[in-house]
Amino acid sequence: MTNPLTLLVSALGSGVVEVVDLTQTLREDSPTIVLPPEFGASAPVRIERISRYDANGPAWYWNNLSFGEHTGTHFDAPVHWFTGRDLPLNTVDTLPVADMIAPACVIDCSVESADPDFLLTIAHVEAWEAKHGRIPARAWVLMRSDWSKRQGAAYANLRDDGAHTPGPDAAVMRWLVEERGILGFGTETIGTDAGQGGHLTPPYPAHHYLHGAGRYGLQCLAALDRLPPTGAVILAAPLKVHEGSGSPLRVLALIPKE
């Protein structure tokens, strides 16, 4: 029998399978989530040059990097939320590597997300399933909002009462986790929850239900408009940081070329 990986390499080489980068560039101005002022805050990204072919290193270029775990395009592990705190294999360095490659269902909410407080509901997902079939267990569900096309302040979309960005409502997150057994939920916005998700019940329901079931989050994704509703395979391997709650990572999608 032909090694299936040989078929994959051949499909990549011939262009039958395309690799799509779903990652935003990690930069010193990469936005981080803004929480109420009484809580701790993520450190900003710092890229500090050590040398660039100069007296500090005549033949080499390198930097010191510092950033919060939940910065830019990043992965949330179950330990990140109190509901997942006591689960086994709940940190980025212990979660099963088999979970780092999985199929994806992409739900296009780009039109509805013109309303920055749009919330994805069960009805939206059931309408998606009526067209594309049932969401398989252990699949990523990626919410396309085209939010990654926004620049600067419009991306974080902060107002006096916090961020106003689209996301899932509580009922759909419980349903996706408990009725469809999804592997994780991904968004283009800062956070898997809506910007006003702290006011939902339970607060931050994507974090609450995903991580309570040992499932994962992806945030600040880009280019979801490049993906088909079904058929993409996601590669998402967080940094293997000791007892880490999450990490910036490169997220890639393998998609079949028409």
Ligand X SMILES: O=C(O)C(=O)c1ccccc1S
What is the binding site for ligand X (CB under 6 A)?
A: 33, 35, 70, 76, 80, 191, 193, 204, 207, 219
Residue closer to ligand X by CB (options 113, 187) is 187
Site for Mn ion contains 144 (CB under 5 A): no
Site for Mn ion contains 193 (CB under 5 A): no
- 30 touches which of Mn ion, ligand X, none (CB within 5 to 8 A by kind)? none
Nearest approach, Cβ of 210 to ligand X (angstroms)? 10
Residue closer to ligand X by CB (options 186, 227) is 186
Site for Mn ion contains 70 (CB under 5 A): yes
Nearest approach, Cβ of 84 to ligand X (angstroms)? 12
- 33 touches which of ligand X, Mn ion, none (CB within 5 to 8 A by kind)? ligand X
DSSP the chain: ---HHHHHHHHHHHTSEEEEE-BPPP-TT--B----TTS--PPPPEEEEEEEEETTEEEEEEEEEE--TTBSSEEE-GGGSGGGTT-TT-STTTS-GGGGEEEEEEEE-TTGGGSTT-EE-HHHHHHHHHHH-PPPTT-EEEEE--GGG--THHHH-EETTEE---EE-HHHHHHHHHTS--SEEEESSSSSS-TTGGGSSSSSHHHHHHHHTT-EEEESB--GGGS-SS-EEEEE-----TT-SEEE--EEEEEE--
Is 124 designated active site? no
Q: Which of 24, 76, 188, 249 binds Mn ion (CB under 5 A)?
A: 76
Residue whose beta carbon is closest to Mn ion:
70
- 215 touches which of ligand X, Mn ion, none (CB within 5 to 8 A by kind)? none
So which residues are the catalytic ones? Answer: 80
Question: Which residues of this protein are in contact with Mn ion, per CB under 5 A?
Answer: 70, 76, 246
